[in-house]
């Protein structure tokens, strides 16, 4: 579409994107019991690429065979066999002309389904509030997580790096470090969770240190033009309204550290990417990312951008790219529809998320 910022191309660390619209990561539970991606998943992701999304970020993928798995039937990049299973997904997306990034997610204290038999871990003594999500196969309260010591931190960092290297081997265009939504790396950033008194706790700079170290280690271990991104948020799965009490100070420390660590993009998410959300400011998290990381890393905005005008507004405010979740599930061809001036469908959650978050026929257009 002529003169529409949504359909301008963008260069992301050597990967050329045909437009500014990507698929947001959305937790699904459709891998095999062994954490292997399936042919069904390949068709699911390919449908978004065919629909015009220039880049796709996968569902959260666990990086190790210890504490990181968050949900039963969650895919992994923790073994060579799991990585090989992803190749069919990568090939299907590439065949449709889009890029695909693997999101690496350590569930931390929010783990509720780990087939490897390990307890959950966190930066500090922490039991997430509320109940485990039945949508993702859990029930009852979360257990209290074990505290990571220095050796545990090394193991987590090394596991992220090894998973990123497997993503390279599987043909992915990049990885996204999941430091959002209350999972492990977000728990380090969040002053409401992190009560450490070492170099990884206390000040905003210390709380940003471990996610930045993971990002830097991955960047150093992967090829120069392999995309390394990071996802950040204030809210958590167990508390979507959560905000950082020291809002801008945490944002400044985190986004500065991630840019210095070599992140090619920061992917910020919240309830509404166009509405002020950071305490004691009139700023969005995306605006703070643009200020503190935008000179060195692309900024990807996410949150209530399914209305094309909201998506354009996020770009006008300085974001480089946007991603869609709900809008994409309702319209696997959202970019193609918007480019053609066609009407968009509303999401029917009763079809897409009933009774759980596994893939349904409604989510794979044309699937037999």
Enumerate the active-site residues.
183
| H-assigned helices in the chain | 39-50, 80-95, 150-170, 184-189, 204-221, 247-260, 285-293, 308-316, 326-330, 334-340, 349-352
The CA distances from residue 114 to 8, 37, 76, 117, in Å, are: 42, 17, 11, 6
DSSP class of residue 24? P
With beta carbons less than 8 A apart as the criterion, state whether 266 and 258 touch: yes
Alpha-carbon distance 334 to 345, whole Å?
A: 9
Nearest to 218 by CA among 168, 172, 180, 184: 168
Residues with Cβ within 8 Å of 261's Cβ and at least 6 positions away in sequence, in order, are: 212, 213, 215, 216, 219
């Amino acid at each position: 579409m002529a003169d529409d910022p949504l359909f301008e191309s963008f260069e992301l660390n050597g990967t050329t994107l045909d437009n500014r619209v990507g698929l947001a990561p959305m937790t699904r539970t459709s891998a095999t019991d062994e954490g292997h991606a399936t042919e069904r998943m390949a068709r699911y992701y390919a449908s978004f690429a065919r629909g015009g999304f220039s880049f796709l970020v996968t569902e959260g993928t666990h990086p190790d065979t210890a504490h990181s798995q968050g949900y039963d039937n969650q895919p992994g990049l923790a073994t060579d066999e799991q990585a090989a299973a992803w190749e069919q997904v990568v090939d299907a997306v590439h065949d449709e002309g889009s890029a695909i990034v693997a999101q690496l997610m350590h569930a931390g204290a929010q783990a509720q389904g780990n087939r490897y038999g390990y307890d959950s871990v966190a930066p500090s003594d922490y039991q997430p509030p509320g109940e485990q999500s039945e949508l993702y196969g859990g029930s009852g309260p979360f257990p209290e997580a074990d505290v990571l010591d220095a050796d545990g931190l090394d193991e987590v960092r090394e596991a992220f790096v090894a998973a990123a290297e497997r993503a390279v081997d599987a043909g992915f265009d990049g990885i996204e470090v999941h430091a959002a939504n209350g999972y492990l790396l977000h728990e380090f950033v969040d002053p409401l969770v992190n009560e450490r008194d070492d170099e990884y706790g206390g000040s905003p700079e210390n709380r940003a240190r471990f996610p930045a170290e993971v990002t830097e280690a991955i960047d150093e271990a992967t090829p120069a033009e392999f995309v390394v991104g990071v996802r950040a948020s204030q809210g958590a799965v167990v508390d979507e309204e959560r905000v950082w009490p020291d809002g801008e100070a945490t944002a400044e420390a985190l986004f500065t550290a991630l840019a210095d660590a070599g992140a090619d993009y920061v992917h910020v998410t919240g309830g509404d990417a166009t509405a002020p959300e950071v305490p004691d400011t009139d700023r969005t998290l995306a605006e703070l990312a643009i200020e503190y990381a935008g000179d060195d890393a692309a900024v990807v905005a996410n949150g209530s951008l399914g209305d094309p005008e909201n998506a354009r507004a996020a770009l006008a405010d300085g974001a480089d790219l946007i991603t869609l979740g709900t809008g994409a599930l309702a319209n696997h061809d959202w970019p193609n529809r918007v480019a053609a001036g066609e009407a968009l469908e509303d999401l029917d959650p009763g079809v897409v998320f009933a009774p759980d978050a596994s893939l349904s026929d409604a989510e794979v257009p044309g699937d037999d």
